[in-house]
Structure 1
Amino acid sequence: MDGHDADDPKQSTADMTAFVQNLLQQMQSRFQTMSDSIITKIDEMGNRIDELEQSINDLRTEMGVEGSPSPSAPSKSNIEPKSADDSTNE
């Protein structure tokens, strides 16, 4: 029995090492799968944003607003300081 007991810790260590290696391989595989999934979803989101941007540009073209800037607030604010500057310069 003593000889069997001496082999058991070595076998236990080898089993534990194999278990840990297998576990690490499974984790690496799962992380790779998740990473691929995330990258795919980011690519899909980018494509959808591009399509949305194109749709917005198409709508702007149909409305005939292509030449004007999209936010109206900056153009109004640009006019107001000019009138203030004009009155200051006079």
Structure 2
Amino acid sequence: MDAQDSEDLKQSTADMTAFVQNLLQQMQSRFQTMSESIIMKIDEMGNRISELEQSINDLRSEMGIEGSSPSAPSMAKDDLS
């Protein structure tokens, strides 16, 4: 192996290292973007669930049903007739 081959090998290794580092940085950036998007959607879903719970509680209050727990016993179908 002569000096030129050794230099070519070092340059090739350096190029490959730079390529892999760049690729990993791009992947990290994409995963970060996806993570932020997922967290934002989860927060949005939580807000929607809270709004839905509040609407249900408001409706229950209007109907005169006490308690705000979603697990409170509901009226059976037989009670409606």
Q: TM-score range by the shorter chain?
A: 0.7 to 0.9
Inter-partner Cα distance in structure 1 for 2:68 and 2:59: 13
State the match for 1:81 in structure 2.
none
Runs of 4+ in structure 1 over 2 Å off = 2-6, 66-70
Aligned residues: 72
Residue in structure 2 matched with residue 58 of structure 1 by the alignment: 58
**C-alpha contact (below 8 Å) 2:57/2:68 kept by paired residues:** no
The 3 A distance-change label for structure 1 pair 11 and 67 is closer
Q: How far, CA to CA, are the matches of 1:45 and 1:52 in structure 2?
A: 10
The residue type equivalent to 1:71 in the other structure is P
Name which one, 1 or 2, has greater alpha-carbon Rg.
1
What is the deviation of 1:7? 1.2
More helix as a share of residues: 1
Q: Which has the higher contact order (CA 8 A, sep 6+)?
A: 2
**Distance in 1, Cα, partners of 2:6 & 2:16:** 16
Contact kept, 8 Å, 1:60 with 1:66, in 2: the verdict is: yes
- Segments of structure 2 that go 5 or more residues without pairing to the other structure are 76-81
Shift of 1:32: 0.5
RMSD, matched Cα: 2.0
Alignment gaps of 5+ in structure 1? 74-90
Instruction: Tell me which amino acid in the other structure corresponds to 1:34.
Output: M
Output aligned runs, 1:1-90, within 5 Å.
Answer: 2-67=2-67, 70-72=72-74
Over 3 Å counting, the alpha-carbon distance change for 1:66 and 1:35 in structure 2 is same
Identity of aligned residues (%): 82
Q: Deviations over 1:54-85 (max 9, x none)?
A: 00000001111124973248xxxxxxxxxxxx
